[in-house]
Amino acid sequence: MVQYRCSKCGCEISYKYGKCSDCLKEIYQQQIEKRKNRILSKRKATIQYGIDQVKKFADGKKWAGSHASCFRCSLPGKGEKTEHIYKKFERWLYHRELGRTVFCELVLKEGFGRPDLIIIDRDENVFIEEIVNSEKEASIILKKKKYPFPIKVIKTKGD
């Protein structure tokens, strides 16, 4: 009697050409994974994906998607220095001109802080810009540890 073999693993099969059922299942599973990964990578290239990422860390009581790209600050002398406000506005305007979605002073869940700017971009996805004026290095290191996204430190002076 002629014995036929699977073209992938070499085990015996009852038909002349092809693959055994185990190999076929493995191939189908790989195809499914490939499709899922392709769909996921397309989704990651959208602004909505970035907003969903930010929403995971935002305080639910204060979350408002309609506040995306609104500029927020306090009065000079009431928590923020004038230089800080100007630099934050300059960076906010820069990102808005590039078409990025920006959350300004978004309150995050407890323990994650309140970054100056959270920027959502298709290329870099989500990152934070923290404007520093006279903060100590220890404070910046602490913020880098607690913020859920990569942080870029921007100095108010041209140092």
pLDDT by residue (tens digit) across 51-79? 888 888 888 776 666 677 788 887 777 77
The sign of the CA dihedral 40, 56, 116, 88 is positive
Q: How many domains in the chain?
A: 1
159 pLDDT higher than 50: no
In a domain, 68, yes or no: yes
**Which pLDDT score, from 0 to 100, does residue 52 have?**
81
In a domain, 99, yes or no: yes
The residue segments making up the domain with residue 113 are 44-155
In whole angstroms, what is the distance from residue 95 CA to residue 61 CA?
Answer: 26
pTM for the model: 0.66
The residue count of the chain comes to 159
Residue pair 112/137 in contact (Cβ under 8 Å)? The answer is no
Residue pair 20/6 in contact (Cβ under 8 Å)? The answer is yes
In a domain, 93, yes or no: yes
**Which pLDDT score, from 0 to 100, does residue 71 have?**
86
In a domain, 62, yes or no: yes
34 pLDDT higher than 90: yes
Higher local confidence (pLDDT), 74 or 145: 145
pLDDT (mean) for 133-151: 87
In a domain, 15, yes or no: no
In a domain, 107, yes or no: yes
In a domain, 9, yes or no: no
Q: What are phi and psi of 106, to 5 degrees?
A: -75, 130
Q: Which residues contact 81 (CB under 8 A, 6 or more apart)?
A: 133, 134, 156
- Tens of pLDDT along 83-137? 888 999 999 999 999 888 899 888 888 888 888 999 988 766 889 999 988 788 8
**Which pLDDT score, from 0 to 100, does residue 117 have?**
92
**Which pLDDT score, from 0 to 100, does residue 129 have?**
93
In a domain, 24, yes or no: no
